[in-house]
Structure 1
Amino acid sequence: MKQTALYISLLSIIITGCRNKTETTSPVIAPITDAVFASGHVEAADQFTLAAFSDGFLQDTWIKENDNVQAGQILFTLDNTTSSIEQAAAAENLRLASQNASDNSPTLMSLRAELANAQQKLQNDSVQYWRMKRLYETNTVSAVEFEGALLAYENDKNTVQSITENIASAKLTLQQDLIHSQSQYKTSVAGNNYFILKSPGNHKIYRIEKNDGELIRKGEAIALLGHPDSLGIVLMVDETGITKVRTGHKVLIELNTHPEQIYTGIITTIYPYFDEEKQSYKVEASFEKRPSNIIAGTLLQANIIVAQDDQAMLIPRAYLTADKKVIIRRNLNADTIAIKTGIISTDWVEVKEGLTLQDELIKAN
């Protein structure tokens, strides 16, 4: 019995020693915020890249960076010597095709002259035919003479019909040639216009990519344009955070050009695709109050506030197990229970259900 008592006494000492080393805490009421980090930059609203429609040397730049331009205003011209020659040739072909398709066309006038001669011959041979027919009926002329007049008359009719059909066919062919020439001319004009780059709307010139004299390839960027007065925020959010982000969420923004100063914005657009190159999702936001002297392209870092509670019941993150349970001490006994959590940050966990402020929590090993 003495040995048993000594064993119990030693065990009591060991348990007491361990208990003294066990870390405990209780829930507290405090504010908590859940935020998603994002990097990004400032970008003009409706920003787009103006690209070349054709290959060519940049001949003239009619604007400079920071200029506001109007719809239809000429911004750049490329060397279009070859295209101008082609347009001049197409214009001459169109002139000739128009002349050939007119009523005074040499081709049609020649056919009409042939038709007039054939019609005159038909009229003469018609008179001769009817005269010979009457004489034949009275046996005044032979059958051979009558048949000769009939044959001439029939040939004349066929000739008139053939020339009439040739005129109609020639008109159709000449009209088709005219349409084709018009199409070629319009194509050449359009092609020539490809060497003149105009503004598609009222924009601001944010960046010019090329200098006069440089060879520009078709599709190559020449300038960056955008809304003249509106600057927005483009954010890149990773896969772990995008599911939490919603339009209307508040954004805290720190610009690289304005360190230590926080600006606020609102999420306006979440694009429904994953950018393979940047390995993130694109999100847009707008400033609640735009900073002064801000420049498009400025890099920034942001925290998107996805959840917030000013009166939350909180426990340290270290007291939550991997399966979202906690160990509590009740009536000197340790018990593991499941709790309902809300916001989980790096250091704190919001408790929605399962604990009271009086509960004593034991830190999970």
Structure 2
Amino acid sequence: MKKTLIFLFSTTTFLISCNRGNDTATSPKYQSLTEAVYASGNIYPENEYKLTANADGFLVRQTAFEGDLVTKNQLIFQLESVSQDARLEASGNILRQAEANYGENSPVLAELNTQLRNARTKLANDSVNFSRQKELYDRSATTKVEYERAELAFQTSKNDVTARQKALQRTKSQLYVDLQNSQSNFRVNAREGDNFRIKTFEAGKIYEIYKKQGELVRRGEQIALIGDANEIYAQLAIDESDFVKVKIGQEVLVKIDVYKDKIFKAKVSKLYPKLNKADQTFRVDAEFADEKPNAYYGMTVEANIIISQNERVLTIPKNYLVGNDSVWVEENGDKKKVRIAKGVENLDLVEVKGGLTEKSVLVREN
């Protein structure tokens, strides 16, 4: 017998294939009975994220719109950044000057090197003069005053060369520090400038844009909603009383309003343990198994999560139940009340696990 999917607006439902009897007397029948949990929810794309602004500014440029496919790191929005552009330009000028001051053709270092060379030349001359004066003084061929004057000039030149060497090294070190600081400042301003250029994190489809060109955008405001255009899932809500029955990997039959009577197959992929106190439901995600619906964001769905499938169980019409677990049966022309052991049930049928057989005759209570 062909099984038919039935979506019932109740908390726990069961999928069956049978016809309900209309006689006042009937007998239990063996037939297939499938237990399922009803769920409702929506379709969402995988890897969903929202682009947010990292700076204040007016939206002056937009390169993509709703429904467009975008790539990773694609520039989507540009915010006005006059003051930031000025800071970036200023830091760039300072960096170029620092690079010139520390480079091979540095005018600052060239001047200090020239001064050092001149000092070394003077030291060489003063050294020769001192040596000559010392030789003359040792032979008593010159006065002590001349000898001491030559010695003082030599020591002064030595000290001047040492001082200029230290000044050159100190200037080099300072210029290197200035260059590093300028590079860091430029990188900071460049990164700050990136805050005015809003790019995608991952490839996907733009589902919604919250700001229009020309509008003021504040830091932290959301600008666009983006998600994977190829991978989607069903986000379902299940009543808390049914949540313990649901397990990862269970089959899910999904009905989507826009597809009318078409049924999509999915599997439970994730269970969320936190109860939504607003409607007393738990969240369950289901991934589509084979054919997938189009990736329209937020489409409403109804689903049956298959809990168990019983191909052949003894069933009775539910409207023959008396109370919760009894039925009236006819035996030898007399009616008597019999207690039964129930299994799964739906709006129409109840599984009988004990108390009746196929030959039992059920009657309604008068």
TM-score (norm 2): 0.73
Structure-2 separation of matches of 1:115 and 1:164: 7
- Matches of 2:153 and 2:200, distance apart in 1: 72
Q: Is residue 284 of structure 1 aligned with residue 286 of structure 2?
A: yes
Tell me the CA shift for residue 193 of structure 1. 2.6
* SS class of match (1:58): strand
Identity of aligned residues (%): 31
**Which residue identity does 1:270 align to in structure 2?**
K
- Alpha-carbon shift at residue 88 of structure 1 (Å): 1.3
Structure 1 pair 345–162 and aligned structure 2 pair: CA distance change class (3 A) = farther
Question: Unaligned stretches of 5+ in structure 2?
Answer: 1-25, 328-336, 361-366
Aligned residues of 1:235 and 1:285 also touching (Cα < 8 A): no
In structure 2, the CA distance between the partners of 1:205 and 1:155, relative to structure 1 (3 Å rule), is same
CA distance in 1, matches of 2:79, 2:272: 38
CA contact 1:50–1:224 (8 Å) conserved in 2: yes
* Alignment partner, residue 149 of structure 1: 150
TM-fit CA distance, 1:115: 1.0
Q: Which has the higher helix share?
A: 1
CA 1:291–1:70 in structure 2 vs 1: closer, same or farther (change >3 Å)? closer
| Counterpart residue number, 1:136 | 137
> Structure 1 residue 166: deviation in Å?
1.7
Q: Is the 8 A contact 1:307 1:343 kept in 2?
A: no
Structure 1, gaps ≥5 residues long: 1-24, 328-333, 361-365
Question: Which residue pairs with 1:125 in the alignment?
Answer: 126
- Residue 274 of structure 1: SS of its match in structure 2? coil
Partner of 2:215: 214
In structure 2, the residue matched to 1:264 is 264
**Cα 1:238/1:55, change in 2 over 3 Å:** farther
8 Å contact from structure 1 (residues 42, 297) kept in 2: yes
Q: CA deviation at 1:107?
A: 2.0
**Structure 1 Cα separation of the partners of residues 57 and 32 of structure 2:** 62
**Partner of residue 176, structure 1:** 177
Aligned equivalents of 2:207, 2:114: Cα separation in 1: 68
- Quick one: structure 1 residues 237 and 107, their matched pair in 2 at CA, closer, same or farther if it must change by over 3 Å? farther
**Which residue type is aligned with residue 286 of structure 1?**
F
Does the aligned pair in 2 maintain the 1:58–1:78 contact within 8 Å? Answer: yes
Q: 1:92 — aligned with what?
A: 93
The answer for the alignment partner of 1:36 in structure 2 is 37
The residue aligned with 1:251 is 252
Q: Which residue of 2 aligns with 1:62?
A: 63
In the alignment, residue 171 of structure 2 is paired with which amino acid?
A
- Matched with 2:13 is none
Letter in 1 for 2:286: E
8 Å CA contact 1:234, 1:285 repeated in 2 = no
Cα offsets for 1:32-61 (capped at 9, x unmatched): 333233322111233222222222111122
DSSP-derived class of the 1:82 partner: helix
- Whether the aligned pair in 2 keeps the contact of 1:253 and 1:263 (CA below 8 Å) is yes
Which amino acid in the other structure matches residue 303 of structure 2? A
Q: Which residue of 1 aligns with 2:84?
A: 83
User: What's the CA shift for 1:143?
Assistant: 5.4
Map of 1:274 onto structure 2:
274
Partners in 2 of 1:68 and 1:104 — Cα distance?
50
Q: Counterparts of 1:164 and 1:359 in 2: how far apart (Å)?
A: 116
1:117 CA displacement: 2.2
Q: Could you list the per-position Cα deviations for residues 134-179 of structure 1 after superposition, in whole angstroms to 9, with x for gaps in the alignment?
A: 2333344455654443343233222212211221221121122122
- RMSD over aligned Cα, in angstroms? 3.9
The whole-number CA distance in structure 2 between the counterparts of 1:233 and 1:206 is 17
For residue 32 of structure 1, what is the amino acid of its counterpart? L
Give me the whole-angstrom Cα distance separating, in 2, the residues matched to 1:241 and 1:153.
101
Cα distance in 1 for partners of 2:288, 2:262 equals: 14
Moved more, 118-127 or 302-311: 302-311
Partner of 2:236: 235
| Structure 1 position 119, deviation (Å) | 0.9
| Structure 1 residue 347 displacement after superposition | 8.0
Distance in 1 between the 2:184 and 2:276 partners?
43
Is the 8 Å Cα contact of residues 232 and 287 (structure 2) preserved in structure 1?
no
3-state DSSP of counterpart to 1:289: coil
More off after superposition, 148-157 vs 106-115: 148-157
Q: SS of the residue aligned with 1:117?
A: helix
Q: Is the 8 A contact 2:60 2:79 kept in 1?
A: yes
Residue pairs, 1:176-215, within 5 angstroms: 176-215=177-216
CA distance in 2, matches of 1:273, 1:56: 41
Which has the larger displacement, 146-155 or 93-102? 146-155
Distance in 2 of aligned mates of 1:133 and 1:27: 136
